[in-house]
Structures are given as C-alpha cells and as structure tokens.
Chain A
C-alpha cells in the first residue's frame, strides 16, 4: 500500500502580516513558518494507519514551495513518514489552487498511490480547493473535512464534520483522497531519535518546471489588511447608551443564527 500526504508550509497565524511590494501576497520577512496545522493531522493520520496496518504502507510526504518548505518535510519525516518529495517552486506563492493541484497530480500520476491525505485548507490562502482538485485530476474518489477516519486497506470510512454538530458517514473505495479537519487526531511530538533518523531519510527534490503545465485560472489583484481595529473604540457613558450601542455591535458581528 502506498500513501501520499500533501503538506504546505504556512506562516504562523499569530503573525502580523504586511503586503509584499506587488501588493498581491504577504511579505515573508519576519514571518515564522510552520507546517499547516490541518496538514499535521493528515500526517498523523497516515502514520497511525501505517502503524495499524503493521508498518506495511509506504508513506510519502510531498510539499510544493521554495527551499524553506524542506523544514516542514523534515518534520513530517520526523513524525514518521518514510520519504519526502520537495517540488521546488520558488514562485509557489503566485500559483493559484488549480496550478498547485495540477503540479501535485502531475507528479503523483501513475505512481500507484492508494490513499492521498491532506489538510482541508491552508491557514494562509484558505481556499479549501487543492485537495479536491488533486482528486479530480487523478480521478480519485474524495471526501473533505474528516473528523474521524478508518481504513482497512480496501476502503476508507470517513466521518465528515457538517454544520450543527452532525457528522456525515462516507465510505470511499480506494484509491481515494481525504482532507482532514482540525481535531481529527492529536499530532505526535516527534522524538529526538526520530528527528535524527529523519535527517537520513530520502528527500527528493523535483523542479516544478517539468510538472507545471497549466496557466493560472485566477489572479490576486490586491492583498491588504481589512480596515478595522484602529486602536479600538472605547464606549463610555450612561448605561442605556452603552446597552444600545453594544447591542447593535453584537448583532452586526455575530453570525445570523442558522436554523
């Protein structure tokens, strides 16, 4: 059995973002990067499956991006993946989800993966498209937003998180792709011997040039901070006015209740 895990390296979301000079994405200076949290759950789930199936599956972790993404790949290897593929794309930030999915699909095609796992979305772009698009391009069955996952080697049973405290139970014959929601599992903390071992695991670098055959389908015109939090508004005064203003603000900001 062969399993592919696709991970993205993203800035820590605690960061303060500033637009790049072109105003199309964030400037990378002063940002701290980490593995996309959703993808960490995908890595963990793949490793658990490998452990459950007696170590038989081979786990490949793949990431598209500039040289820095190797750190995320190393972490996945330290957690327990067997080999890593770095699709080296210095301009990855300019690719749209369609292109990224096409690159991944172009690499994975014909390699016989039985299962592809990835996060349901990234913390920075948050399009929630790449996973499904990879499945569509490879002709795999797929399901998104997994909060529980089982696999017997023939088929996968996925519990999808739906709105309002409900789960949809979905069964996919392999080969299939599943995108992982937060809370699917608790990603492990890599042990030191595994961190050291990870340094010796194979990490293949593939230039993006041979895999990228699609033009972008969308472009970013502007990237900016939404106008808010201008030092915060202070409301003081008599009680009835406070109540009046606060009620209005809360109504505006709270989601309309879904029925």
Chain B
C-alpha cells in the first residue's frame, strides 16, 4: 500500500464547509485589522520608502528568512529563529495539505502526499512541530524567569507563545488520536515516520476506537478554532509584528546608517521636524507596530542604562499610542523633553533592533521641532555653544582666526596659499582648539610625514562640520556651516579628505553629499591601518596591552571596527576587548550633540564606560575620536583619580613608535 493518509479522516468532507467558514471569519478579521494598521500608518507624512521595490523585497526576504536581525540577540534570538523556521515549515506543510485536499484532488484527482514524499513530509513536519514546541516552552520558561529579574510581563506578553503552544499541542493530539485509531495497528511502518505523533498515539492507545474518534473530532475542531483565532488576533495583539516587521524591513532606510534627511529650509509655509505623530513619516508609525517590546534597545541605550528618562522602546510605543489615539497630540509632552535631549545618537538601539525600527531619526525629528520651531535647547550651556558655533564657527568660542594655531611650526600647506592640496586634513574644532586633541592632530601629521604623505589644511577657512548642532536639531545652522565648508573644500582642490574625528568624517563624507560635496573621506585610523599594512610606516613595535573604545559613529554608522585594532596590533599591542566592543560598543556620552551639554540626569555615561575600560586591566584605553577622548579622560579621573587606564588616541600611540621622529 502506498504511504498516505486520509485527509479528512473521522471529521469527513462535511467539515470542509464549516472549516472554511471559520477560516473566512478569521481572514476577514485579519484583513480588517490589517486595514486598520495600514490606516494608522498612513496618518504619517509621506516618505520614499517603497522605491526600488524588487531590491527591497529581496533584501527583506533574505533578512527575514535568514533571521539575521533576530539572531543578533544570542539566546532568545536562537529560540525565535528556531520557532520562525519550524513554523515556516509547518505553514508550508499545511499549505500542501490544503492544496491537495481542496484543489488538486477534487478538481484533478491528483494526490501528491503519498509514497516516499509523504514519508519525508510526515517526518519533517513532525520534527518541525517538536522544535517549535521546545522553543515555545523555553520562551515561556524564560518569561517566567524574567519576572524574577523584575521584568514584569502582561497577559499580552504571554499570549503569543501560549497560543502557539496550544495550537501545536492540539495538533499533535489530533495526529496522535488519528494514529492510535489507524496507523498504530494498520500501518506501523508508516507510523514510524511521525515519531511525535507516534508517541502521542502510544499514550492514547488504551482508549477504545469510539473514544478516540470522539476525542479526535473535538481536538480537530479545537485545533482549527485555535489556529483561526491565531490568525484573527494577529492585527490586534503583539502578533501584529508578523505583518509590521516584514513591512518595516522592506521599508527600511537604504541610505547609509545615521544619515539624516537634508531639510529644504526655503520651503514655503513649511513646518520643520515633528511635534506630533502626524508630523512623523509613515515609516515611523509603522515602526511602532513592528516593535515587539523585546527591550534589546533599552538594554543597550547609554541614556537608559545610566538612569536617564529615555527608553527607545517607550519612545516608539508612545508614538504608536499617539498614532492610534490622537495623532495631533503633542509628542513633545508625551515623550518628555528630558527624554528627547538625553539621546546620544549612538545608534545602538537601531543597530540591535530585530524589527527594523529606526529610533534616532525620530528623536532628531522631535529635536528639530524644538530647536527650529520653538527655539528650545536643552540648556543655557548648549545655547551658548550654539551661538559660539554661529559666531565663531566652533562651539568652544575661540576666535576663528586662531583655528590653524595648532599647526604652528609644522609648516603645513594651507588651502588658498596657491598650493593645490591632494590630501586634505579636516582637523575639526577639537583638534583645532582643544589642547589635548591638538596633540592628536600633531601626532597624526607626524605619522603622515613619516609615511611620505603631505597633508594640507583649510586653515582659518575651516568651520565646525555642524554635526553636534545638527544632531541637536539645528538644521539651519548645520547647513550654513556645511555650505561654507563645502565651498572651502572644493576651492582647495583636494581629491580626498582625512579627519581625526568620526563625527567630521560621517558629516563630510556622507551628509555633505546632499549639499554637493562628493569626495572620499577617510578616518585617520583607517588611513593609519592602510599605511601600516602597506609597509609605508616604519614602526618600532614594542609590546604593550591596550583596550580599544569604539567611537559609536565610527563603528556603528561607518562600520569601521577592525582597522584601528589592526594598527594597534602592528604597533605591538595585545588588545583586550571590553565586554561591549565593536558594533556592540558602549557610548562615551558625547554623541548626539551631548558634547555641548551638561549631563544633569542619572549617572554619568563616561564614568560607566571608563569603569568598563578599567575593568579590562589594560593600562591604556585607545580611541579615535576627540569627543571620546575628552569624555574618557574625564570619566577615568572621576572614577579613580590618577589610576590607570590612560586614554589616548590611536594616532598618538602609533606616532610614539615611529623611529627618529618628525
């Protein structure tokens, strides 16, 4: 006999009508709920996130099926992936049953669920179900344990896994009752291909056939109602992420990470930024439904973990609540100014989010509203700094005429001297004026010279790149500065640019493109690593131990993680990593324009980070950003006075190992 089974065994083909009726009701509810979600998202402003759709779909498919984002979270990510993949298999299997029983067999008389294929089919589905049951059980246990750690769960949190587990268990029971009544005695070889069903059947075998049939009927309908119920509640529960996450991933920004929209400031009668849900883009509202409350963002948020009133998760959910209830209500009030100003734009939240939620962009929109529409800034010190940027071109209030004073005695070519620059070193405000960062700039020039590279500078024509004020929302001031810099850089004739500051690098190389500058811009750690690898830098390597603090902008926005480490090792370093490093690195507290602001709420981020560095036992913490350097030095002193580690820039460490000196 060919291996197969009777599809509507026991319930009979008479069940088909009511079954489809139940399914239709579920699908109608799903459709209606889905429509409501869509209507909510459409309350947002238009934004081009469905262009180049085939490429978007392909990328999304790869990410979703591969569970790439989900797997960034190690333990729970694997459970979710296992669950996802097993349900994918179960869904496809159920689809095949439907295909045969309701289409090919009645219409064409074609049965394909038989023979060897059916045996394999049975086994795969059975095992997939088993994997899913185990994963769900583990998830439920985890949730119970979370409560012990103080993370309270609501019934809404318990629902998805419980419902799925109930569906699977009733499914196995249906299979078990059927097998107990049929295959167990009739086709024992066949039964072996459904091991989980077989186990259930063995358990139920003592019942007589009549009882088995009665039980099977009840379970079959129960299973059906549960499955239909699952479909129906998707749009109304956390399960809506089954719709919203794929949508969010398809609509994910395809621009480089961290790139903000360049506003058209001349637009007639425009409002800038967002103060309500309706003023955000539709993707921002979609994000709120994609959020599954998983808290990964919160766990990594430097503001949240140091006791500040910002939670990226709560931010997104507050936006979602507003979008559903009152899209014209003030988000500034609902989110709170302290939360809005606490963000350091470190992008840890966006980077780790399994649902493709883009948190920092929302913060920037709220900040744009506050600065551009209300003239509001997080404090007097920030206001002063912004004014200094406006007047003097740097937030520290030093005279623009002194901008090149750091290079005195170095005899660097200056743009406008008639020299055409090849490699332009855009020093930035800190390297220009901050005593500590000036040492970094001079060390970097020494490295370039040792490698036979001549860098030129813009001199007094250089302005603040505009990143800190832009991150605080002041797009107007940013664009004014950017236009001056773009003009000066173009006039210098430079073919490429190097910076010692990731904020400058991201701004010049990525953001200025919108304003007409199209030049390769490199971070000095990349350049140094390249020079070292190419054998152009004669280093007298001596063994030492160091840890590397990844500047957020460098690691998460620009994806530069390995080059500074390679350069460190070439200089003789044994690199001991901090627990949070690379793409998972922890902020110094100075990003998002916070370098200009006083940290008044919660514990200090830089102290937390300095302690983490101290914990490695390395005597040296190396970085590649003037803000990080200032924050780390400060944090190290605050946490332990003069005790190690010492904070240095990669350029200083490497320059020390150049023989002869320049």
Contacts and interface: CB of A to CB of B under 8 A. Distances in A.
B402 A191 contact: no
Contacts of A186: 380
Interface in B434-476: 460, 475-476
B374 interface: yes
B118 interface: no
A196 B266 contact: yes
Nearest to A191: B375
A190 B372 CA distance: 8
Contact of A193 (B373, B383, B475): B373
B375 A15 contact: no
Interface string B246-275: 000000000000000000011000011000
Interface string B82-109: 0000000000000000000000000000
B453 to A, nearest CB: 29
A34 B391 CA distance: 6
Given A12-B392, A14-B392, A196-B265, A32 B375 contact: no
Interface in A80-107: none
Contacts of B371: 189
Interface stretch (B34-42, B393-401, B417-425, B532-540): B393-401
Interface string A179-191: 0000000101111
Task: Say what secondary structure dominates the interface of chain A.
Answer: loop
A15 B386 CA distance: 17
Interface string B314-338: 0000000000000000000000000
Given A32-B392, A195-B476, A189 B377 contact: yes
A204 to B, nearest CB: 24
A235 interface: no
B577 interface: no
Contacts of A189: 371, 375-377, 383, 386
A192 B476 CA distance: 7
Interface residues of A, number: 19
A30 B460 contact: yes
A14 B399 contact: yes
A254 B371 CA distance: 41
A193 B368 CA distance: 12
Contacts of A233: none
A107 B387 CA distance: 31
B139 to A, nearest CB: 48
Contacts, number: 57
Contacts of B387: 34
B401 A31 contact: yes
A196 to B, nearest CB: 7
A80 to B, nearest CB: 11
A16 B402 contact: yes
B163 to A, nearest CB: 49
Contacts of B265: 192, 196
Nearest to A188: B375
A30 B372 contact: no
Interface in B175-233: none
Contacts of B475: 192
A70 B400 CA distance: 20
A188 B475 CA distance: 18
Interface in A32-72: 32-34
A229 to B, nearest CB: 15
B488 to A, nearest CB: 15
A55 B377 CA distance: 26
Nearest to A78: B375
B476 A32 contact: no
Given A30-B460, A32-B391, A32-B393, A12 B399 contact: yes
Nearest to B269: A193
A33 B393 CA distance: 11
B373 A14 contact: no
Nearest to B368: A192
A29 interface: yes
Interface in A192-223: 192-193, 195-196
B372 A192 contact: yes
14 contacts: A14-B388, A16-B399, A16-B401, A30-B399, A30-B400, A32-B393, A34-B387, A189-B375, A191-B375, A192-B372, A192-B475, A193-B271, A193-B372, A196-B266
Closest 9 CB pairs of A and B: A30-B401, A189-B375, A192-B372, A15-B399, A34-B391, A32-B392, A14-B397, A191-B375, A32-B391
Interface of B: 265-266, 271-272, 371-377, 380, 383, 386-388, 390-393, 397-402, 460, 475-476
